[in-house]
Structure formats: C-alpha cells, structure tokens
A and B are shown apart, each in its own frame.
Chain A
Amino acid sequence: MIKTRFTPLLSIAALTVLTIPLLAHHSGAMFEKEKTITVEGVVKRFEYTNPHSWLQVDVKNKDGSVTTWGFEAEGPSTLQRAGIRPSDFMPGTKLKITGHPMKDGSPAAAWVEAIRADGKRFDPREGFKVK
C-alpha cells in the first residue's frame, strides 16, 4: 500500500538549510520549510513549464481512493541543468517523491527529491549548481 508520511527535519539543521525551496518568481512562504512529506505513486503528468514545473503524482490512499499530488520545481532550463527531462517522468512512471508540504494542507509540495522505481534520484536544486 502506498503511504504518506511526514518527516520533521527540525533536528537536522544542516539538512533543513539545504532543503529550503528556492522559487523563481514567488516566495516559498506557503510551504513548510522545516518539514518534508514523502509519497509513493505514479506520474500522472509532468508540466515542464516556466516559471515553475509541476510533477503531478497519483497516490493511492488507504481506503483505495486516489489523490493527485503536485510537486513544484523550477522551470525547464534549471531542470535541464539538473538532468531532469520530460522523458524521465512519463505518465505511469513509478516513483517515491519528497517535498516540503503546503502549510494549508493542500496536496502539493516543493519538490526536494524524487527516486524512480529503477533507483535513479532527481534533485531539481542541482540545476543551480555551476558545472
């Protein structure tokens, strides 16, 4: 069964600093910067758009219903630099994804890390590194 869980990061200060979402055209104040949520599901849609991209993931709940979660990241050029391409997350792709959840409880989060079923990891913030 697919689970959702909250992982407080308050005790891991350094990691918290690294995981603060960095958002192009709007503040990230609507997200819980000191918490993460991890869900498992399948990709419904990958919106590879400016100024932010959204990875939509269908997550099965305990009662068998499905909630679509949205994970926000930066736009295409930053994702490209992070090695994240549209073809990496085709509809139906199985994955586990972690993000900073919305404060208001909406099923959305700032994308921190995604791990595909084949084990490959994707961190959008890698796109801001200079290589």
Chain B
Amino acid sequence: MTNSTKTARIAAIFLAFATLLSACNKAGTAPAASSGAPEPERTKEQMIELGRQHKTAWELYQSLREKTKDGQRLASSNLPDWSGVYTRAPVPGFSFDPDQPPDGLPTAKLTPEFHAKMLKRIEDAKRGIEWDPISTCSPPGHPRWLTEPFLREFIVTPKQTWLINEMVNDIRRIYTDGRDHLPEADRYPLYDGDSIGFWDGQKLVIHTNQLQAGIYQRSQPDYTDQVETVEIWQKVDDKTLRADVWVYDPPALQEPWFTRQSYVKLDDREKTLRIRYWNCGENENNAVYQTKEGATQFRGFTFTKNKNKQGESR
C-alpha cells in the first residue's frame, strides 16, 4: 500500500467516525457540547433587541432552535446538575423584573389600556384596596410562577424537566422529547400552560403557550390569555440558576418584555429544608374574601368570637 492510499484510508475512517459522532450527538449519546463555538454572553440590552426582532414567541423559539440545528436531546450522563433547594434571588416587592427601580414602575412597555389598569392597581393598593386573585388558593400560574419567593427544585431528566415551586405544589413540566404543542384547535387555558423545550449544550430553551390571564404580581401589570413565553435556563455558577425570559402578549405589551430571573441554591448543610405538600385550605384562619370596595378581609378567626374586637374580653 502506498503512502497516499494509507492517508486516504485514514481520512475516510476519520470522516466516518466524525459522522457517527455527529449522529450520536443528535440522539443524546455524545457529550453535551455547546453547539459550535461558545458565543459571547449577550447583554440584557442585546436580549431585549433579540425579542424585538421576532414578532411572536414561537418565531423566537424557532429561530433559537434552528441555530442549534433543531436542538439536542441529552442522555442521562450529560444532564446538568441542577440539584438542591433553591429560591428566587430576593427582589423588592416581588417585581417581575428584578431590575425595576425600588420606587419606579414596572419596566414593561404596556399598551395604554394595560398601563392605565396597572396605575389604578398601584393607586388602589396605596389606599388599602388590594385583592390578589390567588387569595382563594388558585395557583399563581405562569409567568407569575417565576416571581414567587418560596422553595424550588429543578428535576432534569432526558425527556422532561420539572420546574417545581413549593407554592400550591406548582410543577411546570417541560417536554424535551421532541414533541410539539397540541394542535391549536385542541388548546385550552392552563395555569402553567404547555411547555416544550430543547437543549442547547447545557442551556434549556423553553416555549410556553396555552396560558390563562393573570397578574405578574401585586402592584404589577396584568397579562392576557394570549401570553406566551420563551425562556433560556442555565446554571451560571455553583449556586445560581438563571432564566432569561421573553414575554409576548400583544393586547398588553407593545413589545416583548425581557427579564433576567435568578434562583439561588440555599445552604442546607443541616438538611432541614423540605418541600412539603401545600394545602392552601388547611387552616380556616387563612380564609379571606373580597370586600365590596375591593379590599381583602379575613372571614373570621377560630381563636376568637367574630365580634371579639381588640380590647374586648371573651
């Protein structure tokens, strides 16, 4: 065999191996390398602009998927380690955008109707007129789900990732097995919507639709049942999971609302932290109702008579 023949054979073997490796990577058996060379970290301003470049959440999601050649599926051995008990990094007032100035308004570019609605809610709250739709124990729902300040766990498996919030046992299931959303005619409103996703290296990219109308938080804007989100979740250091989130909601938002959410792993050296079943109705002292004026009031207490006002004795 001549040297040139040997070289050609080695090249052919190398090419065949590379092709096989690429096929394995699609099937999730190869190491979870990021697609292509690592891109430089995008600033918040660049992410805002990326949202503006796409008319819908679905278009943004598709463009992210195309960049990764339809995304990756990860094998068990390649999944990121998101174990531990987390909570949202503290945000004053639970604002949806952690960058909202302490005395400022939410950063969303709202339509005039929704801007006026939000201002009224804020003014009413200052006068003690405040009612939260979750007061009767319904789940917060997504995208509000991102803001709640309680314990969280993140369970990553090859075909699904579960994003768990302790509050009202709220679990978002993200399907990463290649399935699509339900046909449009069969969609109906859900608290946490329908979420599908793919992996881009160690980043989980999620599209969520089929959501219900709600509020981002108290003293925050409303969203409608047309709201859809795109999220990119990743671990940015040993203790922090970050979610870059674009919210699209044409009736309420003039442009997509981009926010950067952070969840911090709690110190649990004593192993005392537990996520327990959350029965919102277990204690009747927590039952509240909405008054005629729109405020919040307790229904009554077990530890006192209904008209046992302060200073009166039993």
Binding site for B on A (CB under 8 A): 4, 22, 24-27, 29-30, 44-45, 47, 49-52, 54, 56, 61, 63, 65-70, 72, 75-78, 80-81, 101-108, 128-131
The verdict on B41 contacting chain A, using a C-beta distance below 8 Å, is no
* Most interface-central of B275, B296, B313 (chain A CB within 10 A): B313
16 pairs, CB–CB < 8 Å, chain A vs chain B? A26-B135, A26-B286, A27-B130, A27-B132, A30-B297, A49-B282, A50-B278, A50-B283, A51-B278, A68-B303, A69-B303, A75-B278, A77-B151, A81-B266, A101-B310, A103-B128
Considering the complex, give the chain B residue whose CB is closest to the CB of A129: B90
Which 3 residue pairs across A and B have the least CB separation, nearest first? A65-B313, A27-B130, A49-B283
Given contacts A50-B279, A108-B298, A130-B90, contact A67 B308 (CB under 8 A): yes
Instruction: Collect the chain A residues with CB atoms within 8 Å of residue B135's CB.
Output: 25-27
Instruction: Collect the chain A residues with CB atoms within 8 Å of residue B301's CB.
Output: 70, 106, 108
The verdict on B167 contacting chain A, using a C-beta distance below 8 Å, is yes
User: What is the interface size of chain B, counting residues whose CB is below 8 A from a CB of the partner?
Assistant: 48
Cα distance A130–B312 in the bound complex, in angstroms: 41
Q: Are B273 and A106 in contact (CB under 8 A)?
A: no
Q: Are B309 and A25 in contact (CB under 8 A)?
A: no
Considering the complex, give the chain A residue whose CB is closest to the CB of B307: A106
The verdict on B134 contacting chain A, using a C-beta distance below 8 Å, is yes
0 or 1 for each of B274-305: is its CB under 8 Å from A? (1 = yes): 11101110110110100000011110010110
Q: Are A61 and B266 in contact (CB under 8 A)?
A: no
Considering the complex, give the chain A residue whose CB is closest to the CB of B149: A128
Q: Are B273 and A80 in contact (CB under 8 A)?
A: yes
